[in-house]
Amino acid sequence: MTTEYSATGMAPTTQDQPLPAPVRGVDAIRHALQTMPLSPGVYRMLGQKGEVLYVGKALSLKKRVTSYTQVARLPERLRRMVSETVAMEIVTTHTEAEALLLEANYIKRMKPRFNILLRDDKSYPWMMLTDGHPFPQIAKHRGKAEKGASLWGPFASAWAVNQTLNLIQRVFLLRSCTDAVFNSRSRPCLLYQIKRCSGPCVDRIDQASYAHLVEQARDFLSGKDTALRDTLGREMNEAAEALDFERAAVLRDRIRALAQMQESSVINPASLQDADVMGFWQEGGQVCIQVFFIRGGRNNGSRSFFPAHTQDEAPGDILGAFIAQFYDDKPIPAQILVNLDLPEQALLAEALSLHKGRKVEILNPQRGEKKHVLDHAVTNARDALKRRLAETAGQARLLEGVAQVLGLDNPPERIEVYDNSHIQGAHAYGVMIVAGAEGFNRKAYRKFRIKGPVTPGDDFAMMREVLERRFGRALKEAEEGDTSNWPDVLLIDGGAGQYSAVRGVLDDLGVSGVKLVGIAKGPDRDAGREWFHTGEGEPFQLDMRDPVLYYLQRLRDEAHRFAITTHRAGRSKTLVTSELDDIPGVGPARKKMLLNTFGSARAVKQAGLGELEAAPGISHEMARAIYGHFHPDWTAE
C-alpha cells in the first residue's frame, strides 16, 4: 500500500487491488468492486505492464466504477479500455472537488491514452520586476518564480511579452540589463540614448526618482491605468508651467507610449480585469480551444490548443477536462469565459476556487462586451482549426505519395530519419528525427552520444552504434507487446555503401517489416537530383517538381539540422569551463552567482577575502575556500 496526496495537500487513504495476470476486463473491475468504498475519490485503470490506461473521478467510487461493468452501454473507446484493464488503484478524497483536482493532476502527469489529454508542453513567459536591488530590473522570465521578484502574466508567447516589455521601457524607463552589466557600466548604453532607460547605472537618475518610476510601473501592471494617465498629464502640465520644457517633452513621450500600449491589443475589454477567454470549436473529428489571457485589463495574447483523444466525447466534457488540466500548474484568474455550458460547471468552479484559495467564476455570457470578446475567441479557434485540418490533409496526401513511390501497402505512420555529426571523429553524435501524419514529432527526437570505440571519421560504425541502441530497445518493447514506436520507413542520408551497411545492421538485429531508404545526392550534389536506394531494383530519381521529393528532402535536411545543433551543443558544453569548476563546493548555481556578481572568473580570482564574504550566497567558510584555492600559500588564521 502506497501513500498518495491529493492536489489540495490533504492526505487521502489509498487502496490497491493487484490481480493475478489471467484476470482482466470486466472480471478485473468486478474483483476491485468487492472492496470499493462509496466515498469520493479517483480511480486508475491499469494495463498488463502496470501502465495507467485511464484516470477518472467520482462522487461515489463504487457507483461510478460499477458502470464500467455494463460494457454494452459504453462507447467503443471505453470498451477497449475495459478489455485491457487488469487491475485498479483508487485514492479516496474528502470531497468531489478534491477528487477533480487530483484527477487533473494525474492525467497531466501520467498521460493515460484513453483520457482526453491537453497538449501543452511549452512554458509561458512572464514579466518580472526584481525587488532586492536599489534600481530594480524589468525583464522577461520563464520557469519558476525567483526569490525577491514580482511576476505579472502569463503571456501567451515570447512575442507578446517582448512587445509589452518594449513599451514598458518607453513609458517607465526601467533598466532591463542584468546586475553584472549594471555594475560594470561606466557610460550610458544605447537604450539610454534612444530613451528606453533612465540611466541609473551611471547616476542619470537618483534612487528616489527611479523608485517613483517603479511604483508607476507596478500600478500599471496591476491595472491602474486611468490614475497613472492622470498623474502623468498633471506632471506634464506642471513642468510646462514651470518652463521645464525638456521634462514636459519626456512626459509627453511617455503619455504617447502609454496610449499606444493601451491601443495595441486586438481585444482590450474594459469589463474584464483578470480573466481567461476560451473559445471552443469542433470540426472534422478534431477540436481547437483558443485561449486569450486578460490580465490587469490588458490582452496578454492568445494561444491555440488541440486536445488529444477527443473522439466520441461531448463538447462540454472536452472543454471541462481541458480546463481542469490547464490550471493544474498555472495561476487561475478570477473569471473564465467559455462558449459552452459545462456538465459539471459548478463543481469545476468549486474545485478551481479551492485550488486558487479565492472565488473563481466560470461564465458563459450571452450578451454584452464579454459575449463580443468570447465570439472573437471562437472565431480564432475556428480559423486555427481550419488551418490545422488543411495542413493535416496536405500531410496525408504527401504520405500517400511516399507509399506509392516506395511501394508500401499503406501510408507510413512513422518515418525515422538518422544522421551523424562530428569533427574528425571528435564530439560525435548520432540523431534520430520522427515524422508522421501530424508532421515532425519533436517529442520523439533522440540524441545518441557516440560511446565507441569508433575509429575517428568512421560514419558506418557510428550509424551501427546508433541503430543497435535504438532497435535494441525497440525489440524489447516489441517482445512485451508494445509496437507503438516501431517505424514504417527508415530514411538515411547516403548512397549504396551506406544503405548496405545499415541493411546489414538491421539484418543482424533481426529487424523486419521496416522499409529502408537511402537518399544520396547526385555527382554535382545538386538538390533535386537525388538518387533513392531501396534495395529493390536499380536506384531511381523523382521529378524535380514532385512534392514527394521535396518532402523527403525536408526530412533529410531536418535530420541534418538536428545533428549539427546537437553536435554544437555538446561541443560547447565541453568548452564552457573555468577555474571555478575546480573549486570543491562550487556547483553550477554558485558558479553562476559568482560570475554574475564579479563579471568573470578572473575577477573572482582577483577578489579579496572581504569581497568574497560580501557576495550574496557565499558563506564565511565558502569565501575562505574560494580565496584559498586561488592563493595556495595563504593560510587561514
Eight-class DSSP state of 9:
S
CATH 1.10.150.20 fits 579-630, yes or no: yes
At 208, give phi and psi (nearest 5°).
Answer: -65, -40
Q: What is the DSSP letter of 69?
A: G
What pLDDT shows up at residue 523? 61
The residue to which cell 511576476 is assigned: 151
236-281 pLDDT tens trace:
888 888 887 877 887 787 777 666 655 544 455 667 888 999 999 9
Q: Which of 54, 119, 53, 44 is nearest to 89 (CA)?
A: 44
Q: What's the rounded Cα separation, in Å, for the pair 204 and 210?
A: 10
What single string gives the DSSP state of each residue in 245-268? Answer: HHHHHHHHHHHHHHHHHHH-SS--
Closest CA to 432 of 475, 404, 468, 480: 468
CA 596, distance to chain mean position in Å, is: 27
CA 614/CA 608 separation, integer angstroms? 10
Domain 274-386 - what CATH class? alpha beta
Give 86: exposed, middle or buried? Use CB within 10 Å, 0-12, 13-18, 19+. Answer: buried
Q: What is the pLDDT of residue 405?
A: 92
- Cell numbers found for residue 96: 468531489
Report the chain's mean pLDDT, rounded to a whole number: 84
Q: Give the Cα separation of 223 and 48 in Å (integer).
A: 53
**pLDDT given for residue 106 in this prediction:** 93
Does the pLDDT of residue 194 top 80, yes or no? yes
Contact 252, 259 (CB under 8 A): no
Q: Pinpoint the alpha helices (H) of 480-516.
A: 496-509
Tell me the pairing of strands 515-520 and 274-283.
unpaired
CATH classification code of 14-110: 3.40.1440.10
pLDDT value at 10 more than 50: no
Cis bond before residue 584 (omega within 30° of 0): no
Q: Which fold has domain 414-566?
A: Nucleotidyltransferase; domain 5 (3.30.420)
304 in Cβ contact with 207 (< 8 Å): no
How far is residue 393 from each of residues 356, 402, 545, measured CA to CA in Å?
A: 41, 14, 20
Which residue, chain included where needed, has cell 508651467?
241
618: Cβ–Cβ under 8 A, 6 or more apart, which residues? 590, 593, 594, 612, 626
Question: How does residue 612 score in pLDDT terms, banded at 50, 70 and 90?
Answer: confident
Q: Is the pLDDT of residue 337 over 90?
A: yes
- The grid coordinates of residue 261 equal 500600449
Helix (H) or strand (E) holding 126: strand 126-130
Q: What is the DSSP letter of 137?
A: P
- Diameter of the chain by CA atoms? 91
User: What nine digits make up the cell of 198?
Assistant: 533612465
pLDDT digits (tens, 9 = 90+) for 514-534: 999 999 876 655 666 889 999
309-335 tens-digit pLDDT: 888 789 999 999 999 999 988 889 999
Task: Identify residue 538 by its one-letter amino acid code.
Answer: E
CATH 3.30.420.340 in the chain, residue ranges: 414-566
Q: Which three cell numbers stand for residue 440?
A: 515532425
> Do 303 and 229 form a contact (C-beta atoms < 8 A)?
no
**pLDDT of 21 higher than 80:** no
Cell triple for 518: 537511402
DSSP SS3 for 327? coil
Identity of residue 419: D
C-alpha cell at 305: 490548443
CATH 3.40.1440.10 domain locations along the chain: 14-110
